[in-house]
Structure 1
Amino acid sequence: MPDYRQEIPFFDTAIYNPKQRSQIDLAIQSVLDHGKYINGPEVYEFSEKLSTYLNVKHVVPCANGTDALTISLLALDLQRGDEVIVPVFNYVAAAEAVEILGLTPAFIDVSNKDFNIEVKEIEKRINSKTKAIIITHLFGAAAKIDHIVDLAHKYNIAVIEDIAQAVGTELNQRKVGTYGDIGCISFFPTKNLACFGDGGAIITNNEVIANKAKMIANHGQTNKYEHKIAGCNSRLDTLQAAILSVQLLYLEDNLNKRRAIAEKYQDGLKDISEICLPVQQQNSFHTFNQYCILLRSKEVREELQNDLKNSGIGVMIYYPKPLHIQEAFARYEHKVNDFPVAEDLCNRILALPVFPDLREEQLQYIISQIRNFFNQ
């Protein structure tokens, strides 16, 4: 087999499709020609296209995914001290948005099968202060959002879906992000739907929430120089919106490529007993923003990680430390073993390359290196 040492990054942001590159170049040139770099027509056009794709009534573009979460919480008119349920095995953005607004993150452990929030633990954590739940559809796998929404309605709690890693993911033939009150998106370059920098959006079917989010994202303005509330400055650049409209055209094709890569990993690694492979719940469409395996122990994970890196294969750990033992949340006095599943995942998880332009020979090289490591 050819030697691909130093040739396989964990993620490659280059665009190799000549037609796609040409369309992006034209889209950028169009913005340069009209010079409307803030709130240009491409921002509205992309919002409309994304609304159609997700089958959601309102899209509010913003500067990044963390802003989308923060603005969403502000749009719900929560009060200081209100609790917001957050999965403890997660990127920091959700808990960070809760914390900086003076709200309280109520951490919940996750499932060791799909890495998403453990539904049966949610009701145990709900109390009179619980006002919202943030659900992250992690790695492109749909959480049990239908059950979560039913539970939230029972207690009159708002649901925010973080689909930063899951644009295009479906449950029961419905796009995630549209089940709850609000959906939040990041268009960071490594996401399923990606721009060439930072970008984000808020999606909702609730007109009141949409109007409030638009106002917050634009300095709290109802009209120019008329500020109804104190807001922030969070806008999706016209250049990024133009790029995203092109990227959206290729999204489904790229998702299918991710799924095809994941299927080949599943087939190539299924007989290695030392590895647990990702699963997806029934009636769902997993989009594999990450392809994460579980190793037998932290030591085996470290050995395999080093072996793959030495073979020129980029890998990542999502995530090396759960949120409850991060220094940023030390004031809540959580201890080790408070969330055993999340802590175990952090010790054993490893993400393999799954970007759409991963070539077949590269994929087979990765699989062969893993099999060789386990003497398979």
Structure 2
Amino acid sequence: MFVHSASAHRPIERLSQVIPAACPRLPDADAVLPYLRRMDAARTYSNFGPLLTAFEARLAERFETGTAVVTCVNATQALTLTLQALDLPKGGLVAIPSYTFVATAHAVVAAGLIPLFLDVDPEDWMLRPATVREALKQAPGPIAATIVVAAFGAMPDLDGWRALRDETGLPVVLDAAAAFDTARTADIPTVVSLHATKVLGVGEGGFLATTNAGLAARLRQLTTFGFRGARVSDIAATNAKLSEYAGAVGLAALDTWDSDRLRFLRTARLVRAAMTYLPEIRFQSGWGDDWVTSVCSVRLPDGSVGAIERSLQDQDIQTRRWWDRGCHANPAFNECPRGDLQVTETLGRSVLGLPFAVDMGEHEISRVAAALGSALASL
């Protein structure tokens, strides 16, 4: 995903003709080595050493003054523990979009709460405050909080969510797992993933950004055995700390973020340009122009996903239904309440993840565009 030498800027040479749906890349060994040497010199490998502390500080600089960043072993744990830190009533409902990765729903369940699956807007694929307002009147029980998801990295209308929070007192959390690029404000608690598949990754990891100092302190305590400055467990908690090794990778990734972001933008614009003759394809608004993410999810003609992915597979082009039919379609959540999910069902049959990587070459992009055009023509 990240490069640190002139030779590494060439498109990678695949071992086969298959074009993968995703091809992540983290900082290479040479980029991470100076940080590893600093770690060895300090003889500190975990427990909030200087590298992780520096990494959190640099992440916090991306947000407004007064933001605290708390890292975690992954974003799912960060979201789970954030819900716990909010001290919500056990068994309460949490309104979430069904159209999201299952980690959102798993985090709710792990926090001792119940997902209430709601539908999303057909244009931006995200939960709307108006939908939650309506659910507050009709839900089968009290709604304790809501999670809005930044769909594939696109940022939702945060002003609308602030208004909902301020008017109703309902806690709002932003699941911005794929939105490292666009997450720049933290007055709504914001959880970001640092998984290897994201635009900035450390392998496994995540963080909460928040301007609520008390929430940040509570989350930190929940990630480290309930300790708060002493080796005494004040509350029941877990061990979800990020190590110095992850901090080293994160610092190396931040060192080249500006240039890597430009490369993501360039690749996304090449993809958009190659598909300008395919009016049936709809990209997310602003994708590759205003913001970057590590995937290319497009809207296809309704109901066409199955036929198109089979056609692309026959041409050695991998695809992914990143969120498939929505969380509600997974057996793990069969018993969870839900609203009318008509839009989610439609998106499950019409949104497909096309191959995308920071170093995707023009030849690969042309192959995907041509294969997609052929598949559309045969519908």
TM-score, normalised to structure 2, is 0.87
Out of 245, 248, 259, which is 2:254 matched to? 248
Alignment-derived partner of residue 362 in structure 2: 360
State the one-letter code of the partner of 1:155.
T
Cα offset, 1:168, TM superposition:
1.5
Following TM superposition, the consecutive aligned residue runs of length 4 or more in structure 1 with deviations greater than 4 angstroms are none
Alignment-derived partner of residue 222 in structure 1: 228
Alignment-derived partner of residue 143 in structure 1: 156
SS at match of 1:308: helix
Unaligned runs of 5+ in 1: none
1:75 aligns with 2:85: yes
Cα offset, 1:179, TM superposition:
4.0
Would you say the 8 A contact 1:146–1:179 is kept in 2? Answer: no
State the one-letter code of the partner of 2:103.
A
Structure 2 matches for 1:149-188, cutoff 5 A? 149-169=162-182, 175-176=184-185, 178-180=186-188, 182-188=189-195
State the one-letter code of the partner of 2:19.
I
Would you say the 8 A contact 2:97–2:119 is kept in 1? Answer: yes
Out of 338, 341, 344, which is 1:342 matched to? 344
Structure 2 matches for 1:20-99, cutoff 5 A? 21-39=29-47, 40-55=49-64, 57-99=67-109
- Separation in structure 2 between the aligned mates of residue 164 and residue 347 of structure 1, nearest angstrom: 23
Pair 28,315 (structure 1): closer, same or farther in 2 beyond 3 Å: farther
Would you say the 8 A contact 1:87–1:107 is kept in 2? Answer: yes
SS at match of 1:221: coil
State the one-letter code of the partner of 1:246.
A
Give CA-to-partner distance per residue, 1:82-121, whole Å, 9 cap, x none.
Answer: 2221111001122212122222222221122221113331
Pair 32,369 (structure 1): closer, same or farther in 2 beyond 3 Å: farther
SS at match of 1:74: helix
Would you say the 8 A contact 1:106–1:125 is kept in 2? Answer: no
SS at match of 1:28: helix
Out of 281, 287, 291, which is 1:286 matched to? 291
Unaligned runs of 5+ in 2: 1-12
SS at match of 2:62: helix
- Separation in structure 2 between the aligned mates of residue 26 and residue 75 of structure 1, nearest angstrom: 36
Cα offset, 1:9, TM superposition:
1.9
State the one-letter code of the partner of 1:216.
L
- Separation in structure 1 between the aligned mates of residue 156 and residue 68 of structure 2, nearest angstrom: 22
Alignment-derived partner of residue 107 in structure 1: 117
Pair 333,325 (structure 1): closer, same or farther in 2 beyond 3 Å: farther
Alignment-derived partner of residue 7 in structure 2: none
Superposed CA RMSD = 2.5
State the one-letter code of the partner of 1:328.
A
Cα offset, 1:334, TM superposition:
4.7
SS at match of 1:230: coil
Structure 2 matches for 1:106-125, cutoff 5 A? 106-125=116-135
Cα offset, 1:370, TM superposition:
1.8
SS at match of 1:125: helix
The total of aligned residue pairs comes to 359
Would you say the 8 A contact 1:60–1:201 is kept in 2? Answer: yes
- Separation in structure 1 between the aligned mates of residue 19 and residue 91 of structure 2, nearest angstrom: 46
- Separation in structure 2 between the aligned mates of residue 10 and residue 190 of structure 1, nearest angstrom: 11
Give CA-to-partner distance per residue, 1:40-81, whole Å, 9 cap, x none.
Answer: 210101011111123352111111101100111111111113
Out of 14, 19, 23, which is 1:12 matched to? 23
Would you say the 8 A contact 1:169–1:286 is kept in 2? Answer: yes
Task: Tell me whether 342-351 or 32-41 shows the greater mean CA deviation.
Answer: 32-41
The share of aligned pairs that are identical, in percent, is 23
Would you say the 8 A contact 1:318–1:346 is kept in 2? Answer: no
Cα offset, 1:164, TM superposition:
1.1
Alignment-derived partner of residue 199 in structure 2: 192
Structure 2 matches for 1:205-354, cutoff 5 A? 205-280=211-286, 285-298=290-303, 300-332=304-336, 334=338, 338-354=340-356
Task: Tell me whether 234-243 or 365-374 shows the greater mean CA deviation.
Answer: 365-374
Give CA-to-partner distance per residue, 1:11-33, whole Å, 9 cap, x none.
Answer: 22245x8xx65222322343345
Cα offset, 1:223, TM superposition:
3.2
